[in-house]
Structure 1
């Protein structure tokens, strides 16, 4: 037990403050005694407390390092120290022993440092590797049945194709890996009314999301030299992580384009609009894959992780789902339980679904009175921008997530998660989608000189770079710039959406050049069918990776890239499974239950996107 207990590490001044000892060695201790019976090793993770008005606190207050411990930043570090004890000992016993050991060390004696232990952060082998609960068994049974239905449907479909004389029922085909695989991996040449450049934009944005989340999880993971994070955050490279949040605005812009473009196209073809099917179609396609994730995270998550930080990660990723799973499935948790979200990344789905819910009102007004509607939408966009400025100004929100002196949680809860403050890119996309439809409907040829086109691309490129890298030298100071932060928060996302709109517009009217060729590559058609699964699944893998870490890692750009590709590969594999077992089967079941393929297709055509494309709008 002494060997498994943490020792005073080197590199304390480089913030090597997460000292874990040896988790596996401790919990695997098992000794039979005559008097006490079986004694198990009990691993307790303690929290280092730095008292005020001490030498240690003065060292922290001298720089941004102290902000690590406020729980207000994107980076939250809790100095930890682990102790291995017999399982009969309590957390109070651990506190007495731990502080006695610390005070005997001459290196840190009389520096105002103490250690605090809590029972929930103590584990024996029984807590580290728990038995399956009834809920876990039921969840596994449901998943096995789901896989079994897909497997048997595939076998029967193959029999019908290669040995049977009659065609396979459509519902069976809808669950068949063979038939769905042909649809999923099929690439077709785009027709005149398609917008193929959107495929590339979606894929690149999803990669950016995964890349940003990789950094976000790793900088909050157990790291040996946390001071490296400060050096990285002060570098220009960190702005790429901060800019990852703009990928959300890209998705919102694309979503607005596709919805308005699809509605106008359907109305022109005189396809009847059915409000019930419009909502039901969307809800079913989004919710079944999400429900599977909620089920896994609620009932199976604790069996996927084992390590010192398991009590912490299970509180975040399992307990929140146990308590608030319903708000995730109703897409309201960006306003309810904001601090305790189930599946944290689904705040975006909430915004997307809420905007989708109000879209019919806008589309009918746009169809009947386009000039009035567009004027109204522009006015709403200006009002949202003004409201964003006011909220940022009033609450002194920090514009850059890499600013160690800001309040990251305030920024999320009072601005970032809120639909009424994030809708401007979606509105811009609606307006753009309407005009793209008019251009294609009338077969209008828009003529622009090479000088104008070139100038527009230069402006677009400049805007994108300013959005991503702007504020690096001006908005990361400990002195809060009220005007700078408020203007940045209010303007950067609408301006970003305008830049993305130019890319879509230029590619659609044949002024995209090589950019359009890259964004319209046929391979994106296949990749886009997995983006929703990647979006839902990659955070689970990141959290499992964090929960299973038993020794401090090292933060570097190379390690981040290396781990990013691993996360992406796991996410793709998980997405493939999710698509074949939920997304395409629910589409087939929906068509079957609602009266066959023909009826539902007519109402579904109001949304021209594939199911997975809708998920990302």
Structure 2
């Protein structure tokens, strides 16, 4: 019914235009009904006069009409992303009147219960109604249809909203975004000028440091290391050099890189399908397919990162204990250094993204939906930059996160805060420490189950059949440390096991190794594809979904834990050789910056689009690899400017 109403709405508003017998459409509403501003009414009258007299050499009205939405091709395939002609509208300027083009994009909401069956609009399209009432969607689509109109610039945003609404059809405009040429190309703000100055200074420092390195490092023996901290030459040599590793944890490099690939796949799919698409029906069909679960469940890669993070914390600490023969004490200074190291490692690259997002993002593109970037990414970072840099966004301003995908860093940093206490317990009270870790893991799983059951959450990230909204899913389960902690806690235990010599010297027979490998891979596949029925079935099973939410992450993490243990104890075979390839060691250096950059790049490309995109698995794959390579290229710059210099400075600070 929503499709039917939207089609009739477009027919009755856009196509009912007759210069000589004009009885329908937006212009009729504006001229006959006193519901818009006076200046807008006058402009609309001039619009009609210019349109009906052909305008001679001034065809601004025809250009406005041409730039507005029409009935799109393929509307029965859910082509609801009609955007009109953005650039054409903004370039319109009347030669005879003070009239310029204003582009307005509205989100159309349809309330079928409010339709007036006696309306002339409905009656004039009875045949279409008879045919189209047979069409059913069967699910609730993500988002609402959009409609663009090009109107005179002295009409207000509220005028545009009223012009696009149609109470007789139960059609209202939830929100409207209007842009003029001045909005699209704004002047630099004070914040933007400061940002450009700061970034220019940083680039200058990099250039001077590189020049100092190339010209004087071989001539001056005691050249202070701080002068070389920003050197592209010095940092580049370290970055592109792949040293031989003696560590038995080299498989972690491959796991990290593959997890990053999976995360980019997830976000490529979610952002691509959230933008204007000309065949949303194909998205519905693909999302209900079995193979779509590879994209939808890509967030399990974050659990791989969590278990790797937990593993490294305990492994490094207890290896250090072995070197110091158990005398490495967790003193106050050691704990502070522990925290400072982590903060300095993560924050500079993140601060760079936050800084650019808060000040310069609006100047990096334009398009019908570009204000979404400004109103969300930029405004959120202007207000809540501090919570992003304190890693507490998933607690205090969940609905207005700056750099939204940094939620993972919040979870990781909050868990890391408790690591000194956990390490002390494992060293001094080993059995008690392991008991607490197991209990906390079970508690986290219980919280996931309870929230999933109470809030009626879907087991997988889809709003097609879920009882609750995606915001509830994100705010009560997906972003929360207490529901994501189990993989990290498993990693803590795994790292402790791997640091002990007696555990790493265990040798298992092939009769045990092969079944466990198959079991582990089977559990992984079950976690990825097992929720398919939860996604595609209209019936909602509360207990099943809650149980899935409680078990999917621990189960997947346990399988990853086996992979790490097997590869670290020479039980990995071909898989260990694959994950330990030198190329992964190289790519691993860019993973963090890629994670920070790729989502912003995705949104910038999608919301700068001037027309709807076409969805297919081929285009999605093409899109994914393009985003991956672009993110990789930009991450090289980000590492050289933000990561590597701070690592060099940190080394200088701690060595002194």
Q: Could you tell me the TM-score, scaled by structure 1's length? A: 0.89
What corresponds to 1:19 in structure 2? 82
What corresponds to 1:416 in structure 2? 478
User: Residues 26-59 of structure 1, C-alpha deviation per residue, up to 9 Å, x if partnerless?
Assistant: 00112343xx54x221101122231232599x96
What corresponds to 1:155 in structure 2? 211
Residues 11 and 355 of structure 1: is their aligned pair in 2 closer, same or farther, counting only changes over 3 Å? same
Residue 213 in structure 1 maps to residue 267 in structure 2: yes
Compute the displacement of 1:115 (Å): 5.2
Compute the displacement of 1:165 (Å): 5.0
Residue 239 in structure 1 maps to residue 293 in structure 2: yes
Compute the displacement of 1:287 (Å): 0.9
1:114-263 equivalence runs, <5 A: 114=171, 116=173, 121-161=177-217, 164-166=219-221, 168-191=223-246, 193-263=247-317
User: Residues 431-487 of structure 1, C-alpha deviation per residue, up to 9 Å, x if partnerless?
Assistant: 010010003xx5852121111000011101110110000021355322111121011
**Paired residues, number:** 570
C-alpha separation between the residues in 2 aligned to 1:508 and 1:95? 62
1:136-535 equivalence runs, <5 A: 136-161=192-217, 164-166=219-221, 168-191=223-246, 193-270=247-324, 271=328, 273=330, 274-402=334-462, 404-406=464-466, 407-439=469-501, 442=502, 444-535=504-595
Residues 475 and 572 of structure 1: is their aligned pair in 2 closer, same or farther, counting only changes over 3 Å? closer
Compute the displacement of 1:169 (Å): 2.6
Residue of structure 1 aligned with 2:621, choices 544, 551, 561? 561
C-alpha separation between the residues in 2 aligned to 1:475 and 1:547? 27
1:601-612 equivalence runs, <5 A: none
C-alpha separation between the residues in 2 aligned to 1:361 and 1:147? 41
Compute the displacement of 1:232 (Å): 0.5
C-alpha separation between the residues in 1 aligned to 2:321 and 2:239? 28
| Contact 2:593–2:639 (8 Å) recurs in 1 | yes
C-alpha separation between the residues in 1 aligned to 2:134 and 2:458? 22
What corresponds to 2:25 in structure 1? none
| Contact 1:416–1:422 (8 Å) recurs in 2 | yes
| Contact 2:205–2:230 (8 Å) recurs in 1 | yes
User: Residues 342-398 of structure 1, C-alpha deviation per residue, up to 9 Å, x if partnerless?
Assistant: 101000000000001010000000011212211221122112212211111111111
Compute the displacement of 1:267 (Å): 2.1
| Gaps in structure 1 of 5+ consecutive residues | 69-75, 104-109, 600-617
C-alpha separation between the residues in 1 aligned to 2:245 and 2:284? 47
C-alpha separation between the residues in 2 aligned to 1:509 and 1:516? 10
C-alpha separation between the residues in 2 aligned to 1:7 and 1:264? 67
Residues 295 and 262 of structure 1: is their aligned pair in 2 closer, same or farther, counting only changes over 3 Å? same
| Contact 1:239–1:468 (8 Å) recurs in 2 | yes
What corresponds to 1:5 in structure 2? 68
1:92-131 equivalence runs, <5 A: 92-98=158-164, 112=169, 114=171, 116=173, 121-131=177-187
Residues 395 and 59 of structure 1: is their aligned pair in 2 closer, same or farther, counting only changes over 3 Å? farther
Residues 521 and 481 of structure 1: is their aligned pair in 2 closer, same or farther, counting only changes over 3 Å? same
| Contact 2:108–2:144 (8 Å) recurs in 1 | yes
Compute the displacement of 1:265 (Å): 1.3
What corresponds to 1:79 in structure 2? 145
What corresponds to 2:93 in structure 1? 30
| Contact 1:92–1:117 (8 Å) recurs in 2 | no
Q: Secondary structure at the match of 2:65?
A: coil
Residue 63 in structure 1 maps to residue 137 in structure 2: yes
| Contact 1:238–1:402 (8 Å) recurs in 2 | no
| Contact 1:20–1:550 (8 Å) recurs in 2 | yes
Residues 98 and 494 of structure 1: is their aligned pair in 2 closer, same or farther, counting only changes over 3 Å? closer
Compute the displacement of 1:139 (Å): 0.4
| Contact 1:42–1:84 (8 Å) recurs in 2 | yes
| Contact 2:462–2:535 (8 Å) recurs in 1 | no
Q: Could you tell me the TM-score, scaled by structure 2's length? A: 0.84
| Contact 1:390–1:486 (8 Å) recurs in 2 | yes
| Contact 2:447–2:482 (8 Å) recurs in 1 | no
| Contact 1:64–1:405 (8 Å) recurs in 2 | no
| Contact 1:334–1:417 (8 Å) recurs in 2 | yes
Compute the displacement of 1:61 (Å): 10
C-alpha separation between the residues in 2 aligned to 1:587 and 1:480? 50
Residues 308 and 385 of structure 1: is their aligned pair in 2 closer, same or farther, counting only changes over 3 Å? same
Compute the displacement of 1:321 (Å): 1.1
Q: Which has the larger radius of gyration?
A: 2
C-alpha separation between the residues in 1 aligned to 2:109 and 2:436? 55
C-alpha separation between the residues in 2 aligned to 1:88 and 1:307? 21
Residues 244 and 291 of structure 1: is their aligned pair in 2 closer, same or farther, counting only changes over 3 Å? same
| Contact 1:243–1:468 (8 Å) recurs in 2 | yes
C-alpha separation between the residues in 1 aligned to 2:460 and 2:235? 43
- Determine which structure has greater relative contact order: mean sequence separation of CA pairs < 8 Å that are 6+ residues apart, divided by chain length: 1
| Gaps in structure 2 of 5+ consecutive residues | 1-63, 116-121, 123-128
C-alpha separation between the residues in 2 aligned to 1:437 and 1:60? 65
